[in-house]
Amino acid sequence: MKPLLQVEKVEFSYPRSPYRMRIEEFTCNPGQTVAIVGPSGCGKTTFLNLIAGILQPEQGRIEVDGVELNSLRPTRSAAFRLSRMGLIFQEFELVEHLSVGDNILLPLHLGLRNDRASLESTAKQLAEKMGIERYWSILPASLSHGERQRAAICRALSTSPTLVLADEPTGNLDSSNKHRTVRLMIDSARKNQQALVVATHDVELLDSFDRVIHFEDLNQSREPTCP
Amino acid sequence: MNLGGIAFLSWKALRHRPVRSLLLVGSIALTLYFPRALHIFISESETVLEDRARSTPLLVGPEGSSIDLTLNSLYFTPQELPPLKYGAYENLVSQGFGRTIPLHVRFRAGGAPIIGTTLTYFELRGLNLTAGRWITRLGDCVIGAALAERQNLKPGDTIISSPENIFDLAGVYPLRMRITGILAPNQTADDDAVFVDLKTTWIIEGLAHGHQKVAAPGDNALSRESDGNVIRANSSVVEFNEVTTTNIQSFHFHGDQSTYPLSSAVVVPKNRKQRALALAFYQDEEITEQIVIPLKAVENLASTLFATQRLALTAFRLLGLAALGLALMVFLLSFRLRERELRTYSKIGATRHVIFCLQGMEVAVIVISAMTLSLLAGALTRSIAPEMLSKLLN
């Protein structure tokens, strides 16, 4: 089976920072779920941003679903991210002046060319599964941290992406919601043959994933690892 | 690119900060509105002034500012002008330069000017009555439509002239005037004026009065001897405050009528020759009155207004640039404050172009709203400018 995500010989560093990242190889198959663990600041978020095309590697190749991301122009890369990837951010990144529903449908407002009705229906089903459907019309400010995180997860999954990248998706959830949320992401990945890469340091959840990788094993750089 | 989605996101962002958005719309709208309003006012005032001046061929009045004389005679503005003596007016009439209409514009009643004139004035201005009848005797008046509406006056009602100075006990005597008719509106200063016969204004001046009848028994002003059979009468002057059918006969004028005051006289020559003769007549250095072509006086005034307008427009443009600069800074600061939100859009997959359009759309919504508001305010100003100018001129 051809991997859905392939990362080869990728090197990256921040300007004016001693931090360096060098990933020899990383792959993820369709329907596979991978947890990347490591201490805070070791570069997990940077790695996810590289895969998403938000950051550009200095060297190497990142291929998602047969498309070499780092060869795309920024506009094409952004369009690819919008249509094929679902991103869950550490700080939720919900837009404060949009209702929960509009936040979940944000990819549609930003130009995703999906059928609005079907996307809205998928999004509402997800919101129901996540237990946040009653907040659909209200602003995120009146939601708890956990509810906001669930809204962010709904936004990432509602577009039925081929690759889901989640940065500490359960960081603000209580134990029961943590398991419920991770189960939903994993079920969605398996059902829709999505590749799921989750950066986390929550050891409670690691058993649920197909693969667990320690980021320090992934990063081959001998330079300091904290950005 | 989903323009509907971009418009939706922009609208939501603007609605989320209504005070900021409204302040921006308001300040940009005002920046655009002020020069426009000034232009409207200047052009409307030129039109209003010239229309009236065109229908007033020549004016004769005391020496002094020709603009003051024109404004006083055409728009009844309360200028402090020396009087034109009635003798000078009679001299003008005797020259036969055409129709002559005397004007006395000094007093006010109910906040409106009292215009002492003759019936010829109404012919000159093409004024008709919508109610009542014309002036038939001393103390009668016809009033303009706006004044009638404002004060809810109708024929048969009365209006009292206002004292010029309430502390001046020896000053003009208030006269109660009988309203005989209401003039049809003509959107000029005539709409807000009280028209009386010239002699009625002289009564208000205190130049005419009545005497008591000595034979009237029981009058308190007459002193009786202690036995009650002898009446010691005098010819004391009584200032009636109203002309009635019973006292009208007792009114009479004292002194030299040629010294009685007027404000000006309108001259309507029948032809170019009469006009030229009238203009030439007042070139004589021995004549102390001046002749004015109102249209020229108004053009002079308009050119002064245009010069002022140019100066004001320059000031408005500089202020406008400063206001637009501030608005731009508010936008930039706002986008800086919303950097995280815009970065989220970018992370999710919005291109730079989409984000630029999003920002552009917000600016466009504000600017278009401000322009619309400014245009509406401009249209409103244009519709009310003539009335406002008429009020300002009065």
* CB within 8 Å: B347 and A87: yes
- CA–CA distance, B354 with B337 (Å, rounded to integer): 18
Same domain, B189 and B315: no
Q: List, in order, residues 6 or more apart from B69 with CB less than 8 Å away.
A: B59, B61, B62, B79, B81, B264, B290, B292, B297
> What beta strand segments (E) does chain A contain?
5-13, 20-28, 33-37, 59-64, 67-68, 85-88, 163-167, 195-200, 211-214
Same domain, B286 and B154: yes
Overall number of domains in chain B: 2
> Min CA distance, B344 vs chain A (Å)?
6
DSSP B163-200: PS-TT-TTSPPP-EEEEEEEEPP-SSGGGG-EEEEHHH
Instruction: Compare all CA atoms of chain B with the CA of A83 and give the residue at the minimum distance.
Output: B349
Chain B interface includes A102 (CB < 8 A): yes
Last residue of a domain, one of B269, B292, B315: B292
Q: Judge contact between A157 and A181, C-beta under 8 A.
A: no
Whether B36 is covered by a domain: the verdict is yes
Instruction: Compare all CA atoms of chain A with the CA of B3 and give the residue at the minimum distance.
Output: A111
Same domain, B310 and B348: yes
Chain B interface includes A87 (CB < 8 A): yes
- CA–CA distance, B173 with B323 (Å, rounded to integer): 55
Whether B388 is covered by a domain: the verdict is yes
Per-residue DSSP letter, B69: H
> What residue has token string 């619309």?
B372
Q: One digit per residue, pLDDT tens: chain B, 394 residues?
A: 678 889 999 999 999 989 989 999 998 999 889 888 888 888 887 887 788 888 899 999 999 888 899 989 998 887 778 899 999 999 999 999 999 999 999 899 988 999 999 999 999 999 999 999 999 888 999 999 999 999 999 999 999 988 766 565 556 678 899 999 999 998 888 999 999 999 999 988 888 776 655 555 555 545 555 555 555 555 555 555 788 888 787 788 878 888 999 999 999 999 999 999 999 999 888 888 999 999 999 888 888 878 888 888 888 888 888 888 988 898 899 889 889 999 999 999 998 899 999 999 999 999 999 999 999 999 999 888 877 776 666 5
* CB within 8 Å: A109 and B354: no
Q: Is the dihedral of CA B254, B257, B261, B267 positive or negative?
A: positive
Contacts of A102 in chain B (CB under 8 A): 8, 12
Chain A interface includes B166 (CB < 8 A): no
Whether B177 is covered by a domain: the verdict is yes
- CA–CA distance, B1 with A112 (Å, rounded to integer): 8
Contacts of A166 in chain B (CB under 8 A): none
Same domain, B98 and B151: yes
Q: How far is CA A199 from the centre of its chain?
A: 8
Q: Is the dihedral of CA A8, A11, A14, A15 positive or negative?
A: negative
Whether B14 is covered by a domain: the verdict is yes
ipTM metric = 0.89
- CA–CA distance, B12 with A96 (Å, rounded to integer): 10
Whether B213 is covered by a domain: the verdict is no
Whether B245 is covered by a domain: the verdict is no
* Domain enclosing residue B146, as ranges: 58-207+255-292
Same domain, B336 and B308: yes
Fold that domain A5-218 belongs to in CATH: Rossmann fold (3.40.50)
Instruction: Compare all CA atoms of chain B with the CA of A155 and give the residue at the minimum distance.
Output: B348
Same domain, B36 and B90: no
Chain B interface includes A75 (CB < 8 A): yes
Indicate the domain borders of chain A. Answer: 5-218
Chain A interface includes B6 (CB < 8 A): yes
> Min CA distance, B364 vs chain A (Å)?
18
Whether B212 is covered by a domain: the verdict is no
Whether B297 is covered by a domain: the verdict is no
* CB within 8 Å: B351 and A93: no
Spatial CA neighbour of B276 closest among B94, B49, B88, B57: B57
Could you tell me if residue A198 is left (phi over 0), alpha (psi between -120 and 50 degrees) or otherwise beta? beta
